[in-house]
Amino acid sequence: MRIRWCTFDCYGTLIDWEGGVTDALLPYFADPPDRDALAKEYIGTEASIETGAYLRYREVLDRAGAALLRNHGIDRPSPLPASLPGWVAFAEVPRALRALQTAGRRIAILSNVDRDLIATSIPKLGITPDLVVTAEDVGSYKPAVGQPGAAQRRCGRRRGHRVRLGSRRRDLSVRRCVRQAHPDLGGVDTGA
User: DSSP labels for the chain?
Assistant: ----EEEE-SBTTTB-HHHHHHHHHGGG-SSPPPHHHHHHHHHHHHHHHHTSS---HHHHHHHHHHHHHHHTT------HHHHGGG--B-TTHHHHHHHHHHTT-EEEEEESS-HHHHHHHGGGGSS--SEEEEHHHHTS-TTSSHHHHHHHHHH---TTSEEE--SS-TT--HHHHHHHH-GGGTT-----
Task: Give per-residue pLDDT as tens, 122-144.
Answer: 999 999 999 898 888 877 665 54
Q: What is the pTM of this model?
A: 0.79
Task: Give per-residue pLDDT as tens, 49-105.
Answer: 988 788 999 999 999 999 999 999 999 999 999 999 999 998 888 988 888 888 888
Domains: count for the chain? 2
Residue 93 lies in a domain: yes
Q: CA-to-CA distance for 124 and 72, rounded, in angstroms?
A: 33
Query: Among residues 9, 16, 62, 114, which one is catalytic?
Result: 9
pLDDT score recorded for residue 58? 95
Which domain range does residue 42 map to? Answer: 17-85
For residue 160, what is the domain's CATH number? Answer: 3.40.50.1000
Q: CA-to-CA distance for 135 and 149, rounded, in angstroms?
A: 12
Residues 72 and 109 in one domain: no
Choose the final residue of a domain: 35, 52, 85: 85
130 is a catalytic site residue: no
Residues 72 and 141 in one domain: no
Q: Nearest-CA neighbor of 26 among 69, 61, 64, 81? A: 69
Choose the final residue of a domain: 85, 104, 135: 85
pLDDT score recorded for residue 135? 82
pLDDT score recorded for residue 173? 47
Q: CA-to-CA distance for 115 and 13, rounded, in angstroms?
A: 18
Residues 29 and 94 in one domain: no
Residues 68 and 143 in one domain: no
Choose the final residue of a domain: 34, 63, 85: 85
Residues 103 and 11 in one domain: yes
Residues 11 and 95 in one domain: yes
Residues 148 and 64 in one domain: no
Tell me how far the alpha carbon of residue 112 is from its chain's centroid.
7
